[in-house]
Structure 1
């Protein structure tokens, strides 16, 4: 293995330790106001295990407020509760009942070394534990146990007694109000720094508690303009749905990706069969299209295996991850290259790319490689990492630039055909070609619009357990786009794409008189109604001149 590929392999392998449902996020010298830690969809029986280790704030202030917020929504739309508190620390604000999200605060009291738990009125019942060992094994509906849960149980019983006496509805009871969890303090005598550790586990014990959970860490001092507190800590988060480490909306993805891989594989084999059996001209780009379909099938197969191991183990295996990333990089680059080649008419019309086409390739290929690298880093980095948002913005920008670039060659071809149809005598043929390119342009626009916008709107609209639908519609849209492209540019006798004019090449063509071409003259007819190339011999030319001269004897 060469040094270049070894470095690429090590870079990919470096990121493979992060993409999992057992998270480990290391925060160093971070001054953000809030950090998005995780988003996960839980079914009944699910479990969220959060461990905060070696937390320290610089400068240290025991009166400063830090902590977590955990909200539950029904879809992946923007969080309305967090968005309404961008200017103020969420932990310092009272609960607002006008928002649909149910919220739990975990406030760190560094003076008393306790983690205070407060719930919004939307929570009817909550099951929070100090550790996973305290979760009742007999039934998820079992009464809370453990040292911390005894307090909750006692408060619950008192609340029920008060409710029975006063007639208060159970919906108005907040069972986790003033519930405390311990915070342990480690004193580093060498650096004279205090480190704080705490943890909590939340069990999804009923159908009413199911939903999409968003976990954030908040640093309230950083909301003040004259303060900037740097944070250092390590987060370990484990998310599980009854032995399945995939989110509720991701559980069908392994089967979906493997099914689509088989579909693309069979379609690629059928395409190769058509090329082998075709009696019409088959060009190099036809085989390039076949290679693209097979790479897409491999990418989906490796993607499905990746999710399979995440589902079973909580982490993916580096081997399948590296194979998926390699196939994904090649597929992404080859897709845009193929679309640009079709748009410029390579091999169908000309065998050499024009300077303008070469400049387009010099822009598209690096952009597409950068977009794929950004997508891989996004998949491998934790949601709370500082570089995650930056790479996400880079990916969106570069992906839009690539989508715009692949439209240029089609627009150029459409413009050329519009001009040719106005001046060339073969208007009917040019209109056929123009219609074909317009269809291809509409296909590309619809593909980009659907896979980039419609799919995103679908993801933030559907309930959390149907989050896999956006991936299904994206892959189905890609499959339909591939099928339509193959159908329109298949080897065929009357495909207008194969007979595009080469007027620029014909004007520069020079015929030398030697060998079999001696005595032949190439005539480029200027009559637009009979545009074309005609070859006549000298004898035929002299006979035609004699006939014209003889016709003047009777004038």
Structure 2
């Protein structure tokens, strides 16, 4: 068994090393022969002056089979309150979002319609807009022809000579006019300085557009051999900050039983003024380090309690201490991981691996400890029944699978086809584990109910039964709150306060740990350790469950009435 666990651990470490590089806030996704009609690329909470930069390349579609006027291809950027919930209504979602011309609300929605025949990307901004768009503006037919025959973003010298002088003057004149029109409107808003806009436009060789709901820019679409590419950058204004959802749409594939394959590579870079984290994730680094300190302090108090009552300590008490310390260390690495994501845009490999390893250990220790306490092992039982052993054989592998699924989700881009699959696997496995962990407690309660009517010790068994019922209620409340209530609170919170979901989960975990430790503390007045036992049970427990610290110590045993005591030397 030990060799098997060692093999799982080594395999997990190698698996983590392979995955940790892909999880970042600078997203890059490559899809080949994809057939989905909608791809959810990412969800991100933007503050004022936050930036979204999208670079689409290697777009390959079947040109002759698609009517791009009726079934367009492109991106939608919509503000949503919750991840995955779009701003437009359910009735509107029955149609392709790229075909919308007006909304029933004022939520900002920006559509990027890719027209490969005219080599343009038409931008349709709806709702209350206060954003700035920076991208290459589309030129006239001569300029698009130059892009079409080139293999780079810039036309060759021979292509440039074919343009008439009047056309060249017109091409260079239009972007300047567009910049002169938009600058007086944009430069005074939201601390966006003239130098920043000039720098952004220069980097992209682009034009700056102020999206006010009426502007409909036309962007350049570059053709490189048989593929297409374009890029844009959006600066979020003061009236438009919020949680945004970026999606890619291939509307032709919405038709039932009609699937055209397509391929593309997209790089998405999202950034707030203070770093690469979403608005709801910015406080998490400080939250996790503070909670790590609290869990560490609680673990030290628990160790002090064990040392103070060392004659009543069992092995499971030290397992509970190991769980508290592992939880604290996991939160430290989680905080460091978020810090580097915020500053670098991606995690540092070593810190990410350490976080995933401690996360795996914490999850396994948590459910093992809960199951052992629920069965009463080490307190009043020295062996596990066959049914209880089966629970461990089920829960532990499922917990490993759940943690692996979590790591894969963290390391996979939202737009990949495997993301939703592993998300569903994680939800299902977590639900099964939470349900299975209740069985040992239920079995113990049922056993005590039967024993209270048969062995003549009804009062003492009912006292133990009461303790197990309290513990059962604690587990149910913990699972119910962290899996349901906290998620419902997250949905109702504003986007910048959704970090409170993580805060509530960590606080509820701390409370659960403290209450569990209090109920099963190694103290002489603990009702769990005061239960009377038969002569045979005492002899077995003395041999199996007493720790080494109890050797040579006299044992006090109650009689059935709990008043008279008989002292027997265990020497």
Any idea what the Cα deviations from partners look like across 1:242-273, whole Å, max 9, x if unmatched? Answer: 14100111110000000111111111111111
Contact 1:75–1:462 (Cα < 8 Å) also in 2: no
Query: Quick check: 1:308 aligned with 2:339?
Result: yes
Contact 2:46–2:242 (Cα < 8 Å) also in 1: yes
In structure 2, the residue matched to 1:129 is 134
Of 44, 48, 54, the match for 1:50: 54
Alignment of 1:400-419 (within 5 A): 400-419=431-450
Shift of 1:103: 1.2
Of 20, 25, 29, the match for 2:24: 20
TM-score of the superposed pair, with normalisation by structure 2: 0.79
Shift of 1:93: 3.3
Query: Quick check: 1:342 aligned with 2:346?
Result: no
Shift of 1:11: 2.0
Alignment of 1:362-441 (within 5 A): 362-441=393-472
In structure 2, the residue matched to 1:185 is 223
Structure 1 CA distance, aligned partners of 2:90 and 2:414? Answer: 18
Contact 2:295–2:327 (Cα < 8 Å) also in 1: yes
Contact 2:108–2:240 (Cα < 8 Å) also in 1: no
Consecutive unaligned residues in structure 1, runs of 5 or more? 157-172, 188-193, 510-526, 536-555
In structure 2, the residue matched to 1:278 is 309
In structure 2, the residue matched to 1:163 is none
When residues 468 and 110 of structure 1 are mapped into structure 2, their CA distance, relative to the original with a 3 A threshold, is same
Contact 1:73–1:100 (Cα < 8 Å) also in 2: no
Structure 2 CA distance, aligned partners of 1:216 and 1:508? Answer: 68
When residues 221 and 501 of structure 1 are mapped into structure 2, their CA distance, relative to the original with a 3 A threshold, is farther
TM-score of the superposed pair, with normalisation by structure 1: 0.81
Query: Quick check: 1:495 aligned with 2:502?
Result: no
Structure 2 CA distance, aligned partners of 1:411 and 1:58? Answer: 60
Structure 2 CA distance, aligned partners of 1:474 and 1:407? Answer: 20
When residues 533 and 360 of structure 1 are mapped into structure 2, their CA distance, relative to the original with a 3 A threshold, is farther
Shift of 1:102: 2.2
Query: Quick check: 1:197 aligned with 2:202?
Result: no
Structure with max Cα Rg:
1
Contact 2:13–2:357 (Cα < 8 Å) also in 1: no
Query: Quick check: 1:105 aligned with 2:119?
Result: no
Alignment of 1:122-271 (within 5 A): 122-130=127-135, 149=207, 152=209, 174-176=213-215, 178-187=216-225, 194-205=226-237, 207-271=238-302
Alignment of 1:442-521 (within 5 A): 442-500=473-531, 506=537
Contact 1:71–1:215 (Cα < 8 Å) also in 2: yes
Shift of 1:279: 5.3
Any idea what the Cα deviations from partners look like across 1:420-467, whole Å, max 9, x if unmatched? Answer: 223343322222111111110110000000100011111111000011
Contact 1:349–1:499 (Cα < 8 Å) also in 2: no
Query: Quick check: 1:95 aligned with 2:108?
Result: no
Of 39, 56, 70, the match for 2:43: 39
Structure 1 CA distance, aligned partners of 2:16 and 2:501? Answer: 26
SS in 1 for 2:435: helix
When residues 231 and 505 of structure 1 are mapped into structure 2, their CA distance, relative to the original with a 3 A threshold, is farther
In structure 2, the residue matched to 1:325 is 356
Contact 2:292–2:331 (Cα < 8 Å) also in 1: yes
Any idea what the Cα deviations from partners look like across 1:38-79, whole Å, max 9, x if unmatched? Answer: 100111111000111101124754633210110013444733
Contact 1:77–1:461 (Cα < 8 Å) also in 2: no
Contact 2:107–2:128 (Cα < 8 Å) also in 1: no
Structure 2 CA distance, aligned partners of 1:3 and 1:412? Answer: 32
Any idea what the Cα deviations from partners look like across 1:148-167, whole Å, max 9, x if unmatched? Answer: 646x57xx9xxxxxxxxxxx
Shift of 1:380: 0.8
Number of aligned residues: 487
Contact 2:285–2:336 (Cα < 8 Å) also in 1: yes
When residues 397 and 84 of structure 1 are mapped into structure 2, their CA distance, relative to the original with a 3 A threshold, is farther
RMSD between aligned residues: 3.1
Of 105, 110, 121, the match for 1:115: 121
Any idea what the Cα deviations from partners look like across 1:6-25, whole Å, max 9, x if unmatched? Answer: 65333212221221111111
Shift of 1:494: 2.7
Contact 1:73–1:102 (Cα < 8 Å) also in 2: no
Contact 2:108–2:129 (Cα < 8 Å) also in 1: no
Shift of 1:484: 0.3
When residues 475 and 128 of structure 1 are mapped into structure 2, their CA distance, relative to the original with a 3 A threshold, is same
Any idea what the Cα deviations from partners look like across 1:526-548, whole Å, max 9, x if unmatched? Answer: x9989x9999xxxxxxxxxxxxx
